[in-house]
């Protein structure tokens, strides 16, 4: 019985050690091939990355978010586009999110019609009413 437990524990330790080696190997491979262009792989990053909408990176004091493991971040000189959902672009290439511009100066709606003039109501004369005496 003790031998079976010993063998089982030895097998579990061996599998865990192998998995850890695979994880480290994957880490080394992943950091070289995983990140898109203009991004660098980090073992531990945070969500306080420079972006087109927030070009100044918050100070470490202001950004005390927890570590995000295995993340790609923009390299120096590049900013995350589309509020953190796009790729990394130069600041001059950041998209602007202004209101849409008018494409044409041609009127697309008609002027409202003027309301018809109100007819003047004549005051009733005394003769138009029947009085009971």
What are the domain boundaries of the chain? 31-94
- Distance in angstroms (rounded) separating the CA atoms of residues 65 and 44: 11
Q: Where are the alpha helices (DSSP H) in 1-133?
A: 2-33
Say which residue, 41 or 84, is predicted with more confidence: 41
Residue 113 in 3-state DSSP?
coil
CB-CB contact of 121 with 110 (8 Å)? no
Read off the pLDDT of each residue in 21-45 and give the average, rounded to a whole number.
71
pLDDT on residue 69: 84
pLDDT on residue 78: 92
Q: What is the CATH number of domain 31-94?
A: 2.10.25.10
pLDDT interval class at 88 (50, 70, 90)? very high
pLDDT interval class at 106 (50, 70, 90)? low
Say which residue, 58 or 92, is predicted with more confidence: 92
Read off the pLDDT of each residue in 98-103 and give the average, rounded to a whole number.
55
CB-CB contact of 76 with 40 (8 Å)? no
pLDDT on residue 15: 46
Residue 25 in 3-state DSSP?
helix
Whether residue 36 is predicted with pLDDT greater than 80 in this model: the reply is yes
pLDDT on residue 99: 47
pLDDT interval class at 113 (50, 70, 90)? confident
pTM score, two decimals?
A: 0.46
Provide the b/e sequence for 90-113 (b: ≥16 CB within 10 Å).
eeeebeeeeeeeeeeeeeeeeeee
């Amino acid at each position: 019985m003790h031998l079976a437990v010993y063998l089982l524990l030895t097998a579990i330790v061996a599998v865990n050690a192998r998995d850890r080696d695979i994880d480290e190997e994957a880490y080394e491979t992943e950091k070289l091939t995983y990140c898109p262009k203009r991004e660098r792989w980090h073992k531990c990053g945070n969500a306080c990355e420079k972006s087109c909408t927030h070009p100044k990176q918050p100070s470490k004091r202001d950004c005390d978010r927890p570590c995000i493991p295995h993340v790609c971040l923009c390299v120096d000189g590049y900013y995350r586009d589309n509020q953190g959902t796009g790729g990394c672009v130069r600041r001059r290439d950041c998209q602007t999110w202004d209101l849409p511009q008018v494409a044409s100066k041609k009127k697309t709606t008609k002027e409202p019609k003027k309301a018809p003039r109100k007819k003047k109501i004549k005051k009733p004369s005394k003769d138009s009413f029947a009085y009971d005496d």
